[in-house]
Structure 1
Amino acid sequence: MGKSLAITLGQHSIAGVKPQNEDFHGVSVPKGAGLDSKGIAVVLADGVSASEGGKEASQIAVRQFLDDYFSTPDSWTVKHAATKVLGALNLWLYNQGQREYAGTNGLATTFCAVVFKSQTAHLFHVGDSRIYRLREGRLECLTQDHRIQFGKDSAYLARALGIDTRLEVDYRSQPLAVGDCYLLTTDGVHDVLDMESLQRLLLDSGRDPQVCAGKLVEAALQAGSQDNITCQIARIDSLPEVDKDEFYGNLTRLPFPPDLKAGNVLDGYLILRELNATSRSQVYLAEDTLDTGVGKVVIKTPSQNFNDDPLYIDLFLHEEWVAKRLDSPHLIKVIERANRPRTFLYSVVEYIEGQTLRQWMLDHPNPPVAAVRATVDQIARGLRTMHRLEMIHQDLKPDNVLVDRNNTLKIIDFGSTRIAGLAEIQSVLQHSAIVGTANYSAPEYFRGETGTNRADIFALGVMAYEMFTGQLPYGEIQPEKAAKHKFVYTSARLHNPAVPEWVDAALKKATHPKLDKRYGLLSEFVADLTRPNANLVMEGQSCPLLERNPLVFWKGVALLEWVMIVWLVYWSV
């Protein structure tokens, strides 16, 4: 059996010499898939003493963070999920504090958390609580106090949850090792116990985190702590080590279905006809005979050529995993049947009566600007849903967009989709960089870089350019030669003079080979296709003719050379 992430936790908190305890702490250890996708969270908060609702703030911060973090999409990275939750939590504390206590510090608290996911520790910190790590007998403080000192005895917090509408959270990540001990403390501990004392107490307690936590709190009290005293200790007992045989066995526990023909029934789905077949998969039109409310569906089956290829099987399952987590009228939907177990490996998606965008483009070789804009806008809506979940499609092209009879567009094929949250999990399967189809792939893929949302914007820009011109902005790109391809933009107006100059400027920016000069947001691209962006047009006009319109430039050079040759011949006679 492969190992999983496991910790032993110790925690202790007392009011100390104060009348009430305004510290609060918590931990959440999910079971099953949640342990892999979200990890384990250990959280500590210390209500700000100058805050009227410090105790309430610390309790809300810990409880709400644990609830909300584990409710975020599995596809989000730990950093993205936690900072989103903390940003919302900070605003709520600030606004509620203003209403309830008529002051900016009504509900304020320090906050620190460690999220252990796969083989990495993710640290989040605001205020003057601290996170330490003990590794191989050496203690190290991993956070820096957000405390401004005035003289010897006067200091105030520069940062905390709930004191401002803006929040800056310190974040860092580091690899885990079995035996690591992470220590979280409030200032009631570390203000009176120095690094040497903390290290000695951690080592002398026989590595029993609960015993150690009690001794640390007691030592701080004996040392004269004048504050609430709280600490948490998390010892790393094991890290994920997936057994390859077990992993591959789980992937292949469902057999590949046989070749299907019209009239065959697969788990209640009547096969009507084959829609498409390649060396990698077969796609069939089918009818659900067990649920009359569903009607026609599309079934995709893996090819028998790959029934012993774990990487292929993983990618096949990956596509369905992505589709299940997406909800947009512009993204294809998976059909799930909870009470109908599958006897073979296949996926079922909704049936769309219509055509691919590629066929639509062939049928409409000169579409008006409004039609292209509407098409781009719909595709952008689907991509935006993916990007909000930190998913990058990575294989956007006209063949992967369907147009139904109501002219609604839907993106299909999520086999190449990159999911940030899954990228954090160590996998025994090493996927090569997937760059989709070369003509629509952003240049950074050919340099071996990781794709971002700007790569999808590049592909969308190429598609828009092709709709206007029937051509590609950088010509045909051979995959084997893509790394050396010269990305020199050809004006869309050269192929289609009817394209407005401001539209051409937007297409050029969307497909710019340099990442930092491309649109950062889909909404920006759609906006510049909707109305002229004067700054963008002026920027394009200021470019050298060679960059703005290379074909015209070289035609001019050729004409000049011809004139010079004629002139030389004339004077030499």
Structure 2
Amino acid sequence: MPLSVAIGHATHAGPRPRNEDFVGMVTPGEPELSSKGLLAAIADGVSGNDGGREAAEYAVRGLLADYYATPDTWPVTQALDRVIKAINSWVQSQGAVRKELAGMATTLTAVVLRGSFYYFSHVGDTRLYLLRDGTLTRLTTDHVWDRPEMQHVLTRAIGLDSRLAIDHGMGELRERDIFLLASDGVWSCMSEYDIAHQLTQLAQGSIDAVATSDALVGAALGAGSTDNSSALVLRVDALPQENLRDALSGSRQLPVPPRLKAGQTIDAYEVEELIHATQATLLYRVVDPKSRRQLVLKTLHPDRANDAQERSAFAHEEWLAKRVVARFFPQVIVPEQKNYLYYLSTWHAGRTLQQMLDTGAHFTAPDAVAHGIKLARALGALHRRSIIHRDIKPANVHLGDDGELRVLDLGVAQSGLEAESEANAPQAGTPSFLAPEQFDNAPASRQTDLYSAGVTLYYLLTRHYPYGEIEPFQHPRFGEPVPPTRYRPDIPLWLENVLLKAIARDPTDRFETAEELLLALEWGAARPLAAPSVKPLAQRDPLLLWRAVAIVSVVVNLLLLYLIAMR
């Protein structure tokens, strides 16, 4: 479903002879709606000269036209900043060329709704409000002198100075959010309580957006407004599914939090302890202040705060985590406010398979089958969403105290939407669990995930790797895997055959899908798989065969030369 927004606007000159306010919006179709978003803007020309109306109209019209001409690769705030600064230069030049327009200036407040985020840019004393869940929040700050008798005098405006400082902001969109762009003729005569009352009627569906904007302007005039009064109202009726572009855009705007200690808070979430730390990321267990339930907060390491590639990878991980809504994965929790780069997910008491192995846990064949069935179902859920995990191993498989198995860490997962540089990293993951073809730079696939799952179950039972342990940066030679019964004679033959098929060196000999692995484990001894056939040397290792042929040929030739010499 595309972004759906109800819009209404109203403007009135009031007691003034001329209306120097100007409002405008663009509601494009696809693909512009997804790539650039919906843009709405309001401007209030500075009175006292003939150029106020012209400056306001040009600022809004210029922004609405030029914003959609900026490159799609630019972040929203960058595009708004570039266009508004260009408009500022033009307004200044007009005031210098035409005497009757000298000193022309205008305020400007603009908001872009794109995907699941909103972005705004602001200069002057027009305002942007957000009504969410009955609470009204002013998102902009007036650029006026901080003295009671000077609060009508602007310190920033388009055309006022050649060096224009613009306020920018962004946040996550939610359905039923209501935005109000208002000139000072409206907000100066109405309390925030009265504004919220009018917008709440729109939120409740009592009146529509057009009637709401008319009511706001009418209320301001009725309250004695002596200025031009304008209001532009937007109600978000439906949100599209968040796309990766929005996630990446959001990651560029938010700061990385400092390293946190137990007892500290971040966006009201209280830190209990640091769970896990790597060179790139930190995981904390935190407590929700309202529900008091424990959650996991994952963020970038402060040392990686300025690493654009790490930021993109983290945003991609969060985006994927939101897509995998199933019991086999921790579920992402959306915070009420988010001022830092992190994401929250559900906390589950329990341990990973690796933690259990490290404490001496013994897994029986029935244990391995039960865990393998759940792991196959989890991989099937990922693969149906076109996600390749790429790092299945005991440390990333969690057994909860509730008996549920959950797959962790989508940090190196692929969805097919990554940058080419990220997609071309076939050896991301843990070497001993990587499929043989990945060491020859073959891309990750569903079958490489199934291979890793097979090695995970093999290691669970034997504490050995089928082809031996592989060190980082090593390029191993893969021979025949060691049958797991060599380490554990109690493993049933049918289970050994399933494991050997999962970890086959040749991808064509492995299971094609997670569902195929699942059936093999569920059928078990009732419908056992045949033992893998021994391939001829020519198929198993052609290079070794030709080396053997060459050696035999040399030996035969030397023998012939010896016989000839003996005659």
Higher relative contact order at CA 8 Å, sep ≥6: structure 1 or structure 2?
1
Q: Which has the larger radius of gyration?
A: 2
